[in-house]
A and B are shown apart, each in its own frame.
Chain A
Amino acid sequence: MRSDLLGYVVRRILHSIPLVFGVSVIGFGIMHLAPGGPLSVYTLNGSITAADIERLRVSLGLDQPLHVQYFGWVKSMLEGSWGYTLFGGRPVLDVILERLPATILLMGTSTALAVLIGTLLGVLGAVRRYSIFDYLATTGAMLALSFPTFWFGLMAIYIFAIELRWLPSGGMYDFGEEGNVLNLLQHLILPLLVLTLVLVASWSRYARSSFLEVIQQDYVRTARSKGLSGSRVLWRHAFPNAVIPLIALLGVQLPTLFSGALVAETIFSWPGMGRLFVDALSMKEYSVLMGTVMFTALLVILGNLIADIAIALIDPRVKLS
């Protein structure tokens, strides 16, 4: 381990702080400057009078100046409640954390699958460049990236749930089967398929170009001219260097992954964070919306931080200053 690594990690963490601040200001600003405001949902309800709304405004602190509201909100985040839900009055963070495992299960398994399949496709495509396989793989990836994810999900439901009746069309467990792993896996397959397809497509494209760049370098040619076998050169010499930029990609792609999970969860009624977000959206429950948006943004910052540190650990060429 290099001695300057600790300094790098600390500096990298410090660099994230303005980002966290910026994210909180923008998230807060969007919610509060939106026309209609957080209480606009009540104006549609005939049984709620203007006086009631005014009372709500005061009790929720929405009559305070914006900066006071902002600091109050930051304080609630630091204290761990992240505000309270408008309906039910539960701490927002509790509601989010309750949904987190389902999202992590979906995103984690699909990422693992996509990395495995995508890297394999990318390597094969790069090694057999311009072959029929390469052509089919790149065209197929482009096709998969052009599918609207939700439409692909609907088609999957139509084929596998409605026509063939092989798999359930949504949810996480059948009624009365909560906790049954086999039942969970059955429900996982379709959302997993939809999310993984998109990820494999983009991952294989990046893997292909990363490997193409590496296998054209001099040291790879040297290794080959030494008489080493093709597969040894590929996996021992080229692979480690080609994989490093892909680690950074894992962090960078996190927002896209969240967006994909939101769509998959919505179509398959998967009880994760994306579903929570969409439900809160239709109720205009702004404390939950703000909480979810902040939570995902913070996870993205954390993901990028971890990816950068991982690369610094693995790759001795990274300058740590």
Chain B
Amino acid sequence: MTDAAIATRPNNRSYASLTLRRFLKHRMGVLGAVVVVLLCFSALFAQFLAPHDPLLINTSQRFLPLFASWEFPLGTDDLGRDTLSRLLFGGQVSLMVGVVAMLATMVTGTLVGLAAGYYGGVVDNLLMRLVDTLLCFPQVFLLLVIAAFVPPTILSISLIIGLTSWMEVSRIVRAQVSTIKEMDYVQASRGYGASNWRIMLVELMPNILAPVLVAATLKVATAVLMETYISFLGYGVQPPMASWGNMLTNAQGYFDTVPFLAILPGILITLTVMGFNFLGDGLRDAFDARLKMDL
């Protein structure tokens, strides 16, 4: 190794590796990441992990208790369906909705925020008044009204959640963009004759990626919660397909006799939401050295 190589070595610690080191020190963040990875794994491989068909009805084996047999480790529900398999496939639905809704949220929020922050003036004014107006509606009300009128599929539910929750993201992006766009390097790029699109996507986007990434993680958490709300109220994923929300609705009827049917999906929802929340918190602290533990 030459002297020059040794001398430059400390500088090789890139922004990414510094961020990673900071993140690994954030205990709850790492815990969140582990939970998220495990959940994603179980959702991706639900087909192979599930011991039974989640829709298979077996009326001779209704309401089997927890840990009673190796065949049905988490018991069965009112139709004799295997709880473990339904939980695994329900998780697949929840995470799918969470991720697709997050993508819809982030794409809409980022585009609106970019346009408002970059163009300013009338565009900014109109878009931000639209955001103000939409934020006046309680999200659950808006969500349920639309969900009740639209035939529920996984895609439509995800899009409805996404399209009713992008407003905060657009505010975050707009705030970032309107400060960054005045910087010299952006002006220089404009001087070279770069198009508006190029400036927005190539010059501005990478610099607002950190807050967008944090928001995206937290949005998965809220989207998962929202899906369980609308499924619980009967406007989301429809039976017999399993989702954690509609499993809870179903379990409500047998609450006094077999409470675990309601406890299990609830624990998994909480775990998922918490995992993404802690991961998002950890990422925020890691990206922004100043923020540390505050909020």
Contact = CB atoms under 8 A, between A and B. Distances in A.
Interface of A: 18-19, 22-23, 26-27, 30-31, 34-36, 40, 129-130, 138-139, 142-143, 145-148, 150-152, 154-155, 157-158, 162, 205-206, 208-209, 212-213, 255-256, 258-259, 262-263, 266, 277-278, 281-282, 284, 289, 292-293, 296-297, 300-301
Given A142-B277, A152-B266, A255-B138, 16 more contacts: A22-B132, A34-B149, A129-B293, A150-B228, A150-B229, A154-B266, A155-B263, A158-B262, A162-B255, A206-B295, A208-B295, A209-B295, A255-B137, A258-B141, A263-B140, A289-B145
A259 B228 contact: no
A19 B144 contact: no
A209 B290 CA distance: 13
B146 A34 contact: yes
Contacts of B28: 139, 142
A154 B133 CA distance: 33
Contact of B270 (A148, A208, A277, A300): A148
Interface in B230-262: 232-235, 248, 252, 255-256, 259, 262
B138 A262 contact: yes
Contact of A146 (B132, B141, B150, B221): B221
B182 interface: no
Main secondary structure of the interface of A (DSSP, over half): helix
Interface of B: 28, 129-130, 132-142, 144-146, 148-151, 221, 225, 228-229, 232-235, 248, 252, 255-256, 259, 262-263, 265-266, 269-270, 273-274, 277-278, 281, 293-295
Contacts of A263: 140, 229
B139 A255 contact: yes
Contact of A22 (B133, B140, B295): B133
Contacts of B294: 208-209, 212-213
A262 to B, nearest CB: 6
Contacts of B273: 145-148
25 contacts: A23-B133, A23-B136, A30-B142, A30-B145, A139-B28, A142-B281, A146-B270, A147-B270, A150-B248, A151-B262, A152-B266, A157-B255, A162-B255, A208-B295, A213-B294, A255-B135, A259-B140, A262-B138, A263-B140, A284-B148, A289-B145, A293-B141, A297-B136, A300-B136, A301-B136
